[in-house]
């Protein structure tokens, strides 16, 4: 089974997922179709992990995922890695990871 679907042009992926994107982003689907996604749609603190049965994990930073309501598939929209569609076999988990962190101490050399 192929886990990652063939890469398609970003506009096609956005068009197929426009309604779900509108719900996620709080903008009308028509606006998303006209302008696409921008840098402010992605958080540097958020990534997506696709965890497959058997232990394989794919981690995609600066990303969010949407699940198809009827088809066992998901799409991951990423600022730097493109828009990736995955078939989801049984026992696959799609995990949104948010990392909030604080640096303690000085980071420069002294």
pLDDT digits (tens, 9 = 90+) for 30-83: 999 999 999 999 999 999 999 988 899 999 999 999 998 888 999 999 999 999
| Residues near 56 by beta carbon (within 8 Å), at least 6 away in sequence | none
User: Considering all CA atoms of the chain, what is the largest pairwise distance in Å, rounded to the nearest integer?
Assistant: 57
Structure tokens at 36: 């696409």
Burial of 15 from C-beta contacts in 10 A (0-12 / 13-18 / 19+): middle
Its pTM stands at: 0.86
**8 A C-beta contact, residue 88 and residue 74:** yes
Alpha-carbon distances of 59 from 29, 76, 78, rounded to whole Å: 27, 10, 11
């Amino acid at each position: 089974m192929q886990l990652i679907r063939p890469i398609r042009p970003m506009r096609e992926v956005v068009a197929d997922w426009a309604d779900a994107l509108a719900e996620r982003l709080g903008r009308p689907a028509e606006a998303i179709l006209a302008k696409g996604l921008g840098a402010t749609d992605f958080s540097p603190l958020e990534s997506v992990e696709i965890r497959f049965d058997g232990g394989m994990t794919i981690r995609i930073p600066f990303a969010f995922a949407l699940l198809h309501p009827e088809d066992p598939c998901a799409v991951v929209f990423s600022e730097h890695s493109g828009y990736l569609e995955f078939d989801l076999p049984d026992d696959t988990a799609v995990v949104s990871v948010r990392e909030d962190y604080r640096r303690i101490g000085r980071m420069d050399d002294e």
